[in-house]
Amino acid sequence: MKRVKNALRLLWRWTYKSVLWFLVLSIAWVLVYKWINPPITYLQIREGRKNYAWVDIEDISKEMQLAVVASEDQHFPVHWGIDVNAVKKAAEANEKGKKTRGGSTISQQTAKNVFLWPARSWFRKGLETWFTVLIELFWSKERIMEVYLNSIEMGNQCFGVHAAAKMHFKTTAGKLTRHQAALIAGALPQPRKSNAGKPTAYLNGRAAKIEKQMRLLGGPSYLPWLAKSK
């Protein structure tokens, strides 16, 4: 009996210390990336990346920033990382047998892209939620957008808005037009299958819907940091 108690005590001590170290290290990691740009991500290592260069938020087209919000996460400026309504709608759509859709916010996608790995498991999802809470707590929305647009996959071995602008439109991230931004945003759900530079009829139609949403949101001023820069 004494051996069992000692074993349980050691197990508890190991678990306690492991959890404590995880909390400390994960918070420190997030704080470092508040000021230092992530050098590379797991997915970029696995897939390889070409023509990649970090672009500061000031040098990214306002239309591009609004396009991903209109396409991926329209409540981005106001939610705390998890869009409960989007999750409910996604669950309802999936239960009804409609085309599977996700409820991940830009914050959740950023947490997954920068700190984790692509996988479908409750464990990974739990870690994603934790890192989402941390970046919402310690980063600004502007910083989340900046990291998101520089880390997201936008094509085969193409990561970040600079590479997408250069590859598809022979331009820079800062000179993307509304239509070009909508095409890039429209391709994000399937970046390896969709080509923003040579859009199909489906992608053109999706881009048109995104542009409509951008107008309904009121333009770039919908994003607080862009409204202040006017």
Are 137 and 122 in the same domain? yes
Q: From first to last of its 230 residues, what are the pLDDT tens digits of the chain? A: 777 677 777 878 888 899 999 999 999 999 999 999 999 999 999 998 888 999 999 999 999 999 999 999 999 999 999 987 766 665 555 565 655 456 799 999 999 999 999 888 999 999 999 999 999 999 999 999 999 999 999 988 999 999 999 999 999 999 999 999 999 999 999 999 999 999 999 999 999 999 999 999 999 999 999 988 65
- Which DSSP state fits 75? T
Distance set, CA 130 to CA 31, 102, 110, 226 (Å): 14, 18, 12, 28
Number of domains in the chain: 2
For residue 133, the enclosing domain spans 38-228
Rounded-to-integer distance, Cα 89 and Cα 95, Å: 10
Are 65 and 169 in the same domain? yes
Are 12 and 55 in the same domain? no
Are 204 and 223 in the same domain? yes
Helix 62-72 × helix 201-217 angle, to 10° = 100
Question: Number of C-alpha atoms within 13 angstroms, CB side, residue 4?
Answer: 1
Are 22 and 81 in the same domain? no
Are 22 and 49 in the same domain? no
pTM of the predicted model as reported, rounded to 2 decimal places = 0.90
Closest CA to 64 of 201, 196, 228, 230: 196
